[in-house]
Amino acid sequence: MSDVIRLLPDAVANQIAAGEVVQRPASAVKELLENAVDAGAERIHLLIKNAGKTLIQVIDDGEGMSETDARLSLERHATSKIKKVEDLFSLKTMGFRGEAVPSIAAVAQVEIRTKKASKEIGTQLIVEGSKVISQEAFACPDGTNILVKNLFFNIPARRNFLKSNPVESRHIIDEFMRIALIHPEIAMQFSTDGNEMYNLPKSNFRKRIVNIFGKKYNERLVPVSEHTDIVKITGFIGKAEFARKTRGEQFFFVNHRFIKSPYLNHAVMLAYEELIPKDQFPAYFLQLEINPEKIDINIHPTKTEIKFEEERAIYTIVRTAVREALGKFNVAPSIDFDQDNNLTVLPLKANETVKIPNIQVDPNFNPFVQEGKQPSRNTNAHKSTPSNQDWEKLFLASNSEKETTQFDFKQSNEGEKEHVSISPKLMQVHKKYILCQIKSGFLLIDQKAAHQRILIDEWLNREQRTYPSQQLLMPEILNFSGAEFIVLKEIHGDLQKFGFDIRFEDNKCRVFGVPMEMTTQSVQKVLEHLIEDYKNSDTDLQNRQQIKLITALARNMSIKWGQSLNLSEMQEIVDRLFACEMPYALPNGKKTLISYELEEIDQLF
């Protein structure tokens, strides 16, 4: 029997390795940006075309590579970061395996232009599918310029599994933001299809957060600082009142590397316990500095998972640091603009003494005697009882008050008084629920969920129609981050169908009209929540896009808890709810109403 085990060709081995490192265009962006950071760059420019499928280009002004280093960078496990096994446990750089460039070159057409500052001329390499086509001297500025063209050109099956351009672009933006956030000392620029999405100058950590996510974040951030022998924690957390219904901006960085840690996330959520509802999530941007010898980052190809040697201690320190920061914020003094100035005690001036107020008391004053009449000299006046006439007046006053209540007393044929309610069969409870009387008992309707159900059904049934738009007196100019802007463009066509009149200019959008259902809601907040809900949806299927958008719109445009409803408004909600095909629950299974049978109620008494 002949031998069956053989060594794989280098090209096949490289493509297998590329499958672990380069899963989508965003993976290549991450690896190239990390290499630029390790090269000591002060300015990095990322350019993509067609969501990275056609072109990914990273330009940096780092130290560059010599002709030999440029050629060796295409070999697997060729790295300048590791010389012995012990170096694996003292890593302070982003990349170290030497797999990034050769893995990318195995599944794309790559051009590398690089030059060291000490050299007069640089080098250009052209590679296709791990095969070096050419290497020659090339005039270029200091640093490195890598162009990745036609990703997965030699693996069409994998290219076919890529998502739509907006989805892939969002993944690229996520990777860019993770690198940009933790390296505010590097000026970073990002352009897609010729449009500049980000242009971030050198700054500190707080300014970098604001530059990426918008000026609104400046007032939302609370600083966190904790120094121990185990870990040093710095960064910012979001104020409790700005927590969102979906997981928003949550970032952990360990030794300047972005990581995902459900364990540490639980520590942060525990610190917010009793400050935010359980279904809301705060924002946080936390940097952890730990001795590299006490962590293991070499457990996942993407290096986003880390093992901690002192995991429980770090958990406790993170929770305590966040809780302490929230405590400091909550006890911070604030200016009370509603304070009565007459009650404010001013400090005494020098050599000023306290004046004792002169209080005069009228011993003959009787509060029961009307003004203008002589007070009675009878010492037992305060023991006298009101006259019958006074009681009659009090009784008449109480009767007049009863007339304003929802009950009336009518005379029956037998001469007895019968209690008849003239109130409607609908009642609002705590501005949250609608109590609806029915023959068999009553219904308790969640006004928010019911309105969501109504909007979803109406929009789904009118899918082919154009919804009316209410034009604004003055168009609103809204600002969004790059990731939000891409999502907004992606759903722009559907937004127009639902009544939003939005036009884009550069990186800003102007809102000229909103749906008729929007009354007092802020356009900026509705669109922000809508983008967040859509971005964090569980599915990316094309045929589910409109349902996702309808559900998000209904959630953000429905009436909320705490909103008072009059009788006609409650009646309209009840009528429209029971006109729906499925009035009892939302698409996610949440109930809109609960029924209580009269027999069940009778058993309680």
**Packed helices 25-38 and 165-182: angle between N→C axes, nearest 10 degrees:** 20
pLDDT of residue 409: 35
Environment class of 371 (CB within 10 Å of its CB; exposed 0-12, middle 13-18, buried 19+): exposed
**Alpha carbon 98 to its chain's center:** 35
Q: What percent of the chain has pLDDT over 90?
A: 29
Residue 599's pLDDT is 85
Q: How many Å apart are CA 377 and CA 360, to the nearest integer?
A: 20
CATH architecture of residue range(s) 10-202: 2-Layer Sandwich (3.30)
The pLDDT of residue 541 = 38
Dihedral (C-alpha) 218, 219, 221, 222: value to the nearest 10 degrees? Answer: 130
Please provide the DSSP assignment of 69-117 as one string. HHHHTTSTT--SS-SSGGGGGS--SS--SS-HHHHHHTSSEEEEEEE-T
Please state the pTM of the whole predicted model.
Answer: 0.67
Per the CB < 8 A criterion, the answer to whether 28 and 48 are in contact is: no
**d(C-alpha 336, C-alpha 89), whole Å:** 54
Element (H, E) at 427: strand 426-429
Which residues lie closer than 8 Å to 396 by C-beta, 6 or more apart?
none
268-298 exposure pattern, b = at least 16 Cβ within 10 A, e = fewer: bbebbeeebeeebbbbbbbbbebebeebebe
CA dihedral 417, 418, 422, 427 (to 10 degrees): 120
Measured between alpha carbons, how far is 509 from 502 in angstroms, rounded to an integer?
A: 7
Compute φ and ψ for 369, nearest 5 degrees.
-100, 130
Cβ atoms 488, 528 nearer than 8 A: no
- The rounded distance, in Å, linking the Cα atoms of 537 and 275 is 25
Q: Are 258 and 182 in contact (CB under 8 A)?
A: yes
> What residue type is 226 in one-letter code?
E
Range 433-595 has CATH code 3.40.228.10: no
Helix, coil or strand: residue 417? strand
Q: Where are the domains of the chain?
A: 10-202, 206-329, 433-595
Residue 218 · residue 148 · CB < 8 Å: no
Q: Which of 212, 241, 236, 242 is nearest to 224 (CA)?
A: 236
Pairing outcome for strands 250-254 and 469-479: unpaired
Start-to-end CA span in the chain (Å):
87
Residue spans of the chain under pLDDT 50: 331-344, 375-386, 391, 394-395, 397-423, 538-543
The rounded Cα 574 to chain-centroid distance in angstroms is: 33
Q: What is the pLDDT of residue 546?
A: 66
Rounded Cα gap, residues 50 and 166, in angstroms = 9
Distance CA 295, CA 88 (A): 10
Q: How far apart are CA 256 and CA 141, in angstroms?
A: 28
Q: Is 334 exposed, middle or buried (0-12, 13-18, 19+ CB in 10 A)?
A: exposed
Are the folds of 10-202 and 206-329 the same? no
pLDDT for the residue 177: 93
Strands 122-128 and 131-138: antiparallel
Q: Which CATH number does 206-329 carry? A: 3.30.230.10
Tokens of 291: 């001795």
- Give pLDDT tens digits for 104-145: 888 999 999 999 988 999 999 999 988 899 999 999 999 999
Q: Would you state the pLDDT for residue 205?
A: 95
Residue where the block lists tokens 């949806």: 537
* pLDDT single digits (tens) 274-313: 888 887 889 999 999 998 888 877 655 566 778 888 899 9
Residues in the chain: 605
| CA–CA separation, 57 and 76 (whole Å) | 21
Residue indicated by tokens 């019958």: 388
Q: Could you tell me if 142 and 131 are in contact, meaning their C-beta atoms sit under 8 angstroms apart?
A: no
Closest Cα partner for 126 from 157, 142, 150?
150
Residue 519 has a pLDDT of 59
